């Protein structure tokens, strides 16, 4: 039986240039979807999957993200005094156990693979999850939980995957598919950001991974890949060449690319429409805007 996964790495050291100027001072991961920062969605998903150790790979300018996880006792007391129990419960649900979160610095943005490698000493010799908070996945059962349940049957490495239009393969890691076993596919290889005519399939890798420590050993070589960056995809592909199975998991759920402005806006609308307190007004507003084609002046 596969070893239990209790640690997750959250690589958040990227520069978030697609959200400039906001990301000059606001880390992308604490930008809010409705009223919760992106990172809170990722933390909740990780907790639901049984993760108890949360390792953030951060960089200069991310201190607001670190502060977000501090307990705010003054605010909690004020809400208690005023009898605002609902807000207090919302706030308390975000509190993390002391010692559950660790921060590691990536000193230079050398790529996602390098960011993951920076956490190697905190992972040791255990399987671990990697979650990219800017991929937000809405679903009945949280995506990472689906994957860990599947991984407990298969072992090896597992990556979340979904079909993308052929013209979009150059934005993703893409699987070369061997056996297709329903929701799980076995990969023969993986390529980072292939051009559409070179992509081995249209199954793209999305920001959820369950990995063996061997991937960290592969990253020890610090090999540069696509875009001159150290790529996580390449380190996972090396495991395939070494005979370690890599599976793609076609998750149930809707994925939003909140690293892009269009994806962030779509997620904002979708998550707001899922909220009883916002749904009716927003639906009416969207209806009116679409009908009149009115934009902000």
Binding stretches for ligand UTP (CB under 6 A) = 11-18, 57, 106, 109-112, 114-115, 132, 134, 259
Q: Closest separation between CB of residue 133 and ligand UTP, Å?
A: 6
Q: Closest separation between CB of residue 259 and ligand UTP, Å?
A: 4
Q: Closest separation between CB of residue 118 and ligand UTP, Å?
A: 8
Cα(117)–Cα(221) distance, integer angstroms = 10
Cα(213)–Cα(129) distance, integer angstroms = 10
Q: Closest separation between CB of residue 60 and ligand UTP, Å?
A: 12
Select 144 or 184, whichever has its Cβ closest to ligand UTP. 144
Residue nearest to ligand UTP (CB): 14
What count of other Cβ atoms lies within 10 Å of the Cβ of residue 216?
A: 21
Q: Which residues, 6 or more positions from 284, have their beta carbon under 8 angstroms from its beta carbon?
A: none
Residue 124: is it exposed, middle or buried by C-beta count within 10 angstroms (0-12/13-18/19+)?
Answer: exposed
Q: Closest separation between CB of residue 152 and ligand UTP, Å?
A: 26
Cα(88)–Cα(105) distance, integer angstroms = 32
Beta bridge partner(s), residue 175: 190
Nearest Cα residue to 99 out of 122, 129, 124: 122
Q: Closest separation between CB of residue 217 and ligand UTP, Å?
A: 20
Cα(14)–Cα(23) distance, integer angstroms = 10
Cα(79)–Cα(147) distance, integer angstroms = 38
Select 261 or 287, whichever has its Cβ closest to ligand UTP. 261
Select 10 or 249, whichever has its Cβ closest to ligand UTP. 10
Select 114 or 212, whichever has its Cβ closest to ligand UTP. 114
Select 202 or 233, whichever has its Cβ closest to ligand UTP. 233
Select 12 or 79, whichever has its Cβ closest to ligand UTP. 12
Cα(261)–Cα(280) distance, integer angstroms = 24
């Amino acid at each position: 039986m596969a070893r239990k996964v209790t640690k997750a790495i959250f690589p958040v050291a990227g520069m978030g240039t697609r959200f400039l100027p906001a990301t000059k001072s606001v880390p992308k991961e604490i930008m809010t979807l409705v009223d919760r920062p992106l990172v809170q969605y990722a933390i909740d998903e990780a907790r639901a999957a049984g993760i108890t150790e949360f390792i953030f790979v951060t960089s200069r300018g991310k201190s607001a993200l670190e502060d977000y996880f501090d307990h705010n006792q003054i605010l909690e007391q004020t809400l208690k005094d005023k009898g605002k129990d609902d807000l207090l419960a919302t706030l308390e649900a975000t509190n993390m156990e002391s010692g559950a979160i660790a921060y590691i610095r990536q000193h230079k943005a050398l790529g996602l693979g390098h960011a993951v490698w920076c956490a190697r000493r905190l992972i040791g010799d255990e399987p671990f999850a990697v979650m990219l908070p800017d991929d937000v996945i809405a679903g009945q059962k949280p995506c990472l939980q689906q994957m860990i349940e599947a991984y407990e049957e298969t072992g090896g490495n597992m990556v979340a995957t979904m079909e993308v239009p052929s013209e979009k393969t150059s934005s993703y890691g893409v699987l070369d598919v061997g056996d297709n076993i329903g929701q799980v596919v076995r990969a023969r290889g993986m390529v980072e950001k292939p051009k559409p005519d070179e992509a081995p399939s249209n199954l793209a890798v999305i920001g959820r991974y369950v990995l063996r420590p061997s991937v960290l050993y592969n990253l020890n070589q610090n090999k540069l890949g696509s875009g001159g960056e150290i790529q996580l995809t390449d380190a996972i592909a090396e495991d395939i060449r070494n005979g370690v199975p890599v599976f793609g998991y076609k998750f149930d759920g809707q994925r939003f690319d909140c690293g892009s402005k269009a994806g962030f806006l779509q997620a904002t609308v979708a998550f707001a429409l899922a909220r009883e307190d916002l749904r009716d007004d927003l639906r009416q507003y969207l209806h009116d805007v679409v009908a009149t084609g009115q934009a902000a002046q």
